[in-house]
Amino acid sequence: GSVLVINSGSSSVKYQLVNPIGGEAIASGLVERIGEGEGIVTHKFAGNTTTARPVVPDHGAALREVLGMFQTQGPDLEQSNIVAVGHRVVQGGSYFSGPVLIDDDVLGKIRDLIPLAPLHNPGHVAGIEVGRALLPDVPHVAIFDTAFFQTLPEAAYTYALNAEVAREHGVRRYGFHGTSHQYVAGKVSRVLGRRLEDLNQIILHLGNGASASAVRGGKAIETSMGMTPLEGLVMGTRTGDIDPAVVFHLHRNAGMSIDEIDDLLNKKSGLKGLSGENDFRALHELIEQGDEGAKLALDVYIHRLKKYIGAYHAILGRVDVITFTAGVGENDDIVRALTAAGLESLGIAVDPVRNEGRVKEPRIISPDWTSTLVMVVPTNEELAIARQCIALVDEDPAEV
Amino acid sequence: GSVLVINSGSSSVKYQLVNPIGGEAIASGLVERIGEGEGIVTHKFAGNTTTARPVVPDHGAALREVLGMFQTQGPDLEQSNIVAVGHRVVQGGSYFSGPVLIDDDVLGKIRDLIPLAPLHNPGHVAGIEVGRALLPDVPHVAIFDTAFFQTLPEAAYTYALNAEVAREHGVRRYGFHGTSHQYVAGKVSRVLGRRLEDLNQIILHLGNGASASAVRGGKAIETSMGMTPLEGLVMGTRTGDIDPAVVFHLHRNAGMSIDEIDDLLNKKSGLKGLSGENDFRALHELIEQGDEGAKLALDVYIHRLKKYIGAYHAILGRVDVITFTAGVGENDDIVRALTAAGLESLGIAVDPVRNEGRVKEPRIISPDWTSTLVMVVPTNEELAIARQCIALVDEDPAEV
Ligand SMILES: Nc1ncnc2c1ncn2[C@@H]1O[C@H](COP(=O)(O)OP(=O)(O)O)[C@@H](O)[C@H]1O
Ligand SMILES: Nc1ncnc2c1ncn2[C@@H]1O[C@H](COP(=O)(O)OP(=O)(O)O)[C@@H](O)[C@H]1O
């Protein structure tokens, strides 16, 4: 059977029809500009890319466009033997520590969490509602970005914020990118042929969004993203860690509203805010041309990464593997080399030859003498979601 | 000669007459509740403590009360041979990397920095203005909490915030408690009989406010407090590090104003916000009584400290000494033991017997086998300020 993976954003829907055994995407696509007049639908199947520009007023219309694409461009969903629809959900709060079959109660909880994820959960709710209506005969599963981090110890997920306020308003570290961190942690164990239970891992998911995690025996014990994806590492357009008093300062002295500061920290900062570019390929070009802002952006990015590696080393006590993944982590050998530089005293180093270039297979890039392995492992969130769906649907008592 | 050290807060003035050679406080005192109707003046000299409750409308009146105490209770300032008045200033921005003789230009800059330190610099300005008027015949020196951290590399002091906004509004890491970190770094070198230039140090200033620093060869290369003293470690009443989006969330969902959130994060959080207590002695008592909030507060505090030690280990590459200082650091052997626990893989440990109890002398508390020394070194900000004043006044060309 196959799994249809749906990732509904505020104004977009990404989808992929996945073969959970082989792992390949049978078909995939994207609906953009939902609710903005003319939308854009892009569908890929069997080597062909089809685009269309229908009016897409809402998520219902978007999913109907998707089903239409499957009907006209293939593959035929009736014959694809879809055994589950997997919905990616960013914020699962403290409710969900793994995938769940979606029923009205689950949907209600995802809706309840909208205050904690105002940019994401509304789109998820809309996508799930329409998805269930359009594909009523298959189980729908919710996969939460936060679920893998529900194992964080209380000392790691608790901010030193007034306890009453924190409790009342759900303020704690949730962590995000969990599906990717969990997938990579498992993949590392299989590639090395070592039991997940025996491995202390640091995982660096460096994409446009970026996060680090410390994983002991397969369980996450710390992560860099917080109540929202804003905290932690330097990202494409997000600040990551910053003195929270900067918000007060900008409000009072720059006369900015809270919405403007939110926008500034989330969308106009990070690599882009420091250099004008959030893509590392463009950033490296600027640096070669002698651009100082770009050089500083890279330096700040690497400095932050080193601090997180050190911090997680301290709390793990022993680190068996550090793994780079996602767009930057998988492709950028300069970032990987700079991150490891100077960490020899922690037993961490990168071999220049092994580090070179881009390879689509998981591999070790540390020299033979180090106590910690450094690896590059491509992530695959859609496959991870599909496999979690299969596992849930197979094991679900109601299905037996 | 002696140095009169003045620390003017928003509603208080602390002072100490210091012998910069021997290091002892000849006299000291405190004016509280400035501008709040009846004030409180406390003066200590020669074993006697005198208190008074005059009306203290402003900083001018406060300093006149101080001079009055010296006149009536002693010592006689005329005969104390005051060679300098040292004013502690919290925020020196990017202007000041060491002590400076105060002239109108310096005072103007401290005034210009008020937007960056709205709670502190106004009191400093008032204290300096009145101090210069009342004691016009001695040089007045400004000692900045931020000065020691002006050596931070750009990658460490730059936030990944939009560069234009950061430049325009002075947003960067400044660091605070610099006088203490610098004093302790020097003291460690002298106590060990090793050159400051040769030592890589981590310093943990754990008082009611708390900060960590990484010091290479006597120069600070990283510190935990940021644009303001809010960032970093868990403190008595401050959150330290927290997802800045928490501010947005509380504003939108708890209906709190920015001033209320500022107050919450700075004054109603930290240890106190988690447990109701910000004094470690009370906290330990609560823990012994089985209080879970107090236990969690301690756990969060220690977890954060470990992360900073690891982070600074990574950027220093090699750590020769980790030093605990200030109220908690000097007195709390439980905090010291818990902080080092589990850091053996970084070469860090604390010997239970050496760690025990409170001693007023600098000492080593690590076992003999570790690569990193762990020390306890009492800080003395007033003495550090007095010595910096002397050094400046002696070397100043105008004085030769
Ligand atoms: N060949 C490459 N070299 C360096 N960086 C790359 C390369 N390819 C992609 N990237 C980086 O990966 C980023 C996208 O990562 P990705 O994981 O796809 O992001 P996300 O899923 O968070 O949107 C790009 O912004 C770019 O910085
Ligand atoms: N004997 C002690 N045992 C444990 N903690 C102590 C002891 N004495 C003082 N402290 C701690 O030191 C703190 C004050 O530290 P201090 O450096 O004086 O603070 P600050 O100068 O920042 O106001 C107290 O809040 C308390 O937690």
Arithmetic mean of pLDDT, A173-185: 98
Q: Do B160 and A304 touch (CB under 8 A)?
A: yes
Contacts of A208 in chain B (CB under 8 A): none
DSSP per-residue string spanning B53-81: --B--SHHHHHHHHHHHHHHHS--GGGTT
- Ligand 2 centroid–CA B377 distance in Å is 14
Q: Which one of A112, A169, A248 makes the best mutation probe of the B interface by having the most chain B beta carbons within 10 Å? A: A248
Instruction: Using CB atoms, pick whichever of B118, B154, B244 lies closest to residue A242.
Output: B244
Catalytic residues of A, by residue number, are 145
SS (H, E, C) chain A: CEEEEEEECCCCEEEEEECCCCCCEEEEEEEECCCCCECEEEEEECCEEEEECCECCCHHHHHHHHHHHHHHHCCCHHHCCEEEEEEEECCCCCCCCCCEECCHHHHHHHHHCHHHCCCCHHHHHHHHHHHHHHCCCCCEEEEECCHHHHHCCHHHHCCCCCHHHHHHHCCCCCCCCHHHHHHHHHHHHHHHCCCHHHCEEEEEEECCCEEEEEEECCEEEEECCCCCCCCCCCCCCCCCCCCCHHHHHHHHHCCCCHHHHHHHHHHCCHHHHHHCCCCHHHHHHHHHCCCHHHHHHHHHHHHHHHHHHHHHHHHHCCCCEEEEEHHHHHHCHHHHHHHHCCCHHHCCCCCHHHHCCCCCCCEECCCCCCCCEEEECCCCHHHHHHHHHHHHHHHCHHHC
Q: How far is CA A265 from CA A118, A212, A244, A271, in A?
A: 16, 19, 11, 11
The angle subtended at Cα A84 by Cα A79 and Cα A89, nearest 5°, is: 135
pLDDT (tens digit per residue) in B61-109: 999 999 999 999 999 998 999 999 999 999 999 999 999 999 999 999 9
Q: Which of A14, A328, A333 maximizes ligand 1 atoms within 8 Å of its Cβ, making it the mutation to test the pocket?
A: A328
Contact status, residue A238 vs residue A270, Cβ threshold 8 Å: yes
Restricting to B residues 10-69, those with a Cβ less than 8 Å away from any Cβ of A are none
Residue nearest atom 24 of ligand 1, based on CA coordinates: A279
Counting residues of chain B whose pLDDT is more than 90, the rounded percentage is: 92
pLDDT at residue B292 is higher than 50: yes
According to the model, what pLDDT value does residue B400 have? 33
Q: Which of A120, A225, A331 maximizes ligand 1 atoms within 8 Å of its Cβ, making it the mutation to test the pocket?
A: A331
Indicate the pLDDT class of residue B397, thresholds 50, 70 and 90: very low
Q: How far is CA A384 from CA A13, A146, A392, in A?
A: 18, 14, 12
Ligand 1: nearest atom to the Cα of A281: 4
Rounded to the nearest angstrom, the minimum Cα separation between A283 and chain B is: 15
Q: Do B249 and A228 touch (CB under 8 A)?
A: yes
Q: Which residue of B has its CA nearest to A175?
A: B243
Indicate the pLDDT class of residue B208, thresholds 50, 70 and 90: very high
Q: Which ligand is nearest to the CA of B284?
A: 2
Burial of B358 (0-12, 13-18, 19+ CB in 10 A): exposed
Rounded to the nearest angstrom, the minimum Cα separation between B111 and chain A is: 15
According to the model, what pLDDT value does residue B10 have? 81
Arithmetic mean of pLDDT, B126-146: 95
Q: Do A246 and B159 touch (CB under 8 A)?
A: yes
B300 to chain A, any CB pair closer than 8 A? The answer is yes
Contacts of A307 in chain B (CB under 8 A): 222, 311-312, 314-315
Indicate the pLDDT class of residue A360, thresholds 50, 70 and 90: confident
Residue with the larger pLDDT of the pair A396 and A88: A88
Indicate the pLDDT class of residue A396, thresholds 50, 70 and 90: very low
Q: Do A268 and B160 touch (CB under 8 A)?
A: no
pLDDT (tens digit per residue) in B310-365: 999 999 999 999 999 999 999 999 999 999 999 999 999 999 999 997 778 999 99
Arithmetic mean of pLDDT, B130-153: 96
- Ligand 2 centroid–CA B280 distance in Å is 7
According to the model, what pLDDT value does residue B303 have? 98
What's the Rg (C-alpha) of chain B? 21
| H-type alpha helices, chain B | 59-73, 104-112, 121-134, 154-157, 163-169, 178-192, 245-253, 258-267, 270-275, 280-288, 292-316, 326-331, 333-340, 352-355, 381-395
Contacts of A241 in chain B (CB under 8 A): 241
pLDDT at residue A398 is higher than 70: no
Contacts of A299 in chain B (CB under 8 A): 154-155
According to the model, what pLDDT value does residue B22 have? 87
Residue nearest atom 1 of ligand 1, based on CA coordinates: A331
Contacts of B342 in chain A (CB under 8 A): 314-315, 317
Arithmetic mean of pLDDT, B192-202: 98
B395 to chain A, any CB pair closer than 8 A? The answer is no
Q: Which of B302, B331, B338, B376 maximizes ligand 2 atoms within 8 Å of its Cβ, making it the mutation to test the pocket?
A: B331
Arithmetic mean of pLDDT, B168-177: 98
pLDDT at residue A400 is higher than 80: no
Residue with the larger pLDDT of the pair B1 and B351: B351
Mean pLDDT of chain A, nearest integer:
95
Q: Which of B145, B206, B208, B225 maximizes ligand 2 atoms within 8 Å of its Cβ, making it the mutation to test the pocket?
A: B208
Residue nearest atom 9 of ligand 1, based on CA coordinates: A327
pLDDT (tens digit per residue) in A213-252: 999 999 999 999 999 999 999 999 999 999 999 999 999 9
List B112, B145, B351, B368, catalytic entry:
B145
Ligand 1 site, residue A279, Cβ cutoff 6 A: yes
According to the model, what pLDDT value does residue A397 have? 44
B157 to chain A, any CB pair closer than 8 A? The answer is no
Residue for token digits 């997680």?
Answer: A312
Arithmetic mean of pLDDT, B278-297: 98
Arithmetic mean of pLDDT, A190-198: 98
Counting residues of chain B whose pLDDT is more than 70, the rounded percentage is: 98
Arithmetic mean of pLDDT, A361-372: 96
pLDDT (tens digit per residue) in A23-55: 899 999 999 999 888 999 999 999 999 999 999
Ligand 2 pocket, residues with Cβ under 6 angstroms: B 207-209, 236, 278-281, 326-328, 331-332
Arithmetic mean of pLDDT, B244-265: 97
Ligand 1 site, residue A222, Cβ cutoff 6 A: no
Ligand 1: nearest atom to the Cα of A280: 27
Ligand 1 site, residue A208, Cβ cutoff 6 A: yes
The answer to pTM > 0.90 is yes
B239 to chain A, any CB pair closer than 8 A? The answer is yes
What ipTM describes this predicted complex? 0.96
Contacts of A262 in chain B (CB under 8 A): 245, 248
Instruction: Using CB atoms, pick whichever of A252, A275, A345 lies closest to residue B317.
Output: A345
According to the model, what pLDDT value does residue A92 have? 97
B370 to chain A, any CB pair closer than 8 A? The answer is no
According to the model, what pLDDT value does residue B360 have? 86
pLDDT at residue A286 is higher than 70: yes
Q: Lowest mean pLDDT of A283-297, B69-83, B382-396, name the range.
A: B382-396
Ligand 1: nearest atom to the Cα of A236: 25
Contacts of B254 in chain A (CB under 8 A): 165, 168-169
Q: Do A244 and B249 touch (CB under 8 A)?
A: no
Ligand 2: nearest atom to the Cα of B205: 17
Please state, in angstroms and rounded to a whole number, the distance separating the CA atoms of residues B233 and B335: 13
Indicate the pLDDT class of residue B395, thresholds 50, 70 and 90: low
